Amino acid sequence: GTVTELDAVLVGCRACPRLVAWREQVATVKRSAFREWDYWAKPVPGFGPVDATLAIVGLAPAAHGGNRTGRIFTGDPSGDVLYAALHAVGLASQPTATHRGDGLALRGVRITVPVHCAPPDNRPTTIERDTCRPWLARELALLRPTLRVVVVLGGFGWQAALPVLAAGGWSLPRPRPAFGHGVHVRVTDPRTGRDLHLLGCYHPSRRNISTRTLTIPMLHDVLRRAAHLARQ
Ligand code: SF4
């Protein structure tokens, strides 16, 4: 299969009852600013070219962001920060992301999430994380021929991504490296002998930005390093 085929099947997934209920409930209640919107209310696939050298792994779609627009990180404060930063370092064609027809294109980057449906309070359960894991495993397997770097935004994504890489045959160091901002782990793909670079980055959540846990220069720095490693 291809990533496009994978995405087409993904959007029909209803494996997590709590998340199915939430994504649909949010679409009914809406938020007053988005009253005119016909919410997506389905699993939100990854976004970006299928021959990406760099993958960015987030957390889950925002209820009124990706769950509304149908494109990951699109139409919410985290996405505003992320896409502006990707544009600033030359990885996105424009600094803003508002809807699926806004013309935004990513350069060699595929953004995805370990949980594809919007969770209440942005907090998926560990069962939901594990239920969604095969989708991330399949997506990374399809990107594998070109993939050089994975940037993981936040500890949740890190906890989700490492087992996927281990199960996919990438040789991870033992003990498993802990998540941290700026953490750089080099894992080998025994099939190709090539390195895959894993970079940790704090999630650009509204909270992390407002508390300056993650500053814009910190985000630019990780993305620049990732872009540099992806070109090697
Ligand atoms: Fe399916 Fe993942 Fe959504 Fe659960 S979170 S319903 S596994 S797409």
Find how far residue 175's CA is from the centre of its chain: 25
Q: Ligand 1 centre and the CA of 103: distance in Å?
A: 27
**Overall average pLDDT of the 137-151 stretch:** 96
Contact (Cβ atoms closer than 8 angstroms) between residue 30 and residue 23: no
Max Cα distance, the chain (Å)? 52
How much is the pLDDT for 1?
Answer: 81
Both tokens of 205, joined, read 């959540």
Mutate to test the pocket of ligand 1, among 13, 122, 130 (most ligand atoms within 8 A of CB): 13
* Ligand 1 pocket by Cβ (under 6 Å): 10, 13-16, 19-20, 43, 115-117, 128, 131-132, 135
Q: Tell me, what's the pLDDT at 32?
A: 86
Query: Does residue 147 contact residue 49 with C-beta atoms inside 8 Å?
Result: no
The pLDDT score that the predictor gives to residue 30 is 85
CA of 207 to the centre of ligand 1 (A): 25
| Position 40 pLDDT exceeds 90 | yes
* Residue 149 and residue 55 in contact, taking contact as beta carbons nearer than 8 Å: yes
pLDDT digits (tens, 9 = 90+) for 72-88: 999 999 999 999 999 99
List the CATH number of the domain containing 53. Answer: 3.40.470.10
Is the pLDDT at 120 greater than 90? The verdict is: yes
- pLDDT, greater one: 61 or 189: 61
| Enclosing domain of residue 57 | 3-231
Whether pLDDT at 112 is above 90: yes
Q: What is the mean pLDDT of residues 102-129?
A: 97
Q: Is the pLDDT of residue 5 over 90?
A: yes
Complex prediction ipTM: 0.99
The count of domains in the chain is 1
Measured between alpha carbons, how far apart are the two ends of the chain, in Å? 28
Rounded to whole angstroms, what are the CA distances from 15 to 78, 113, 127?
26, 16, 11
Which amino acid is it at 59? L
Question: Could you tell me the distance, in angstroms and rounded to a whole number, from the CA of residue 123 to the centre of ligand 1?
Answer: 13
Least confident of 29-33, 165-169, 173-177, 211-215: 29-33
Name the pTM for this structure. 0.97
Tokens of 29: 């209640």
Residue 137: the pLDDT is: 97
Backbone angle region of 130, left / alpha / beta, with phi > 0 → left and psi within -120 to 50 → alpha: alpha
Report the C-alpha gap between 78 and 57 in whole angstroms. 13
Ligand 1 atom at minimal distance to the Cα of residue 134: 7
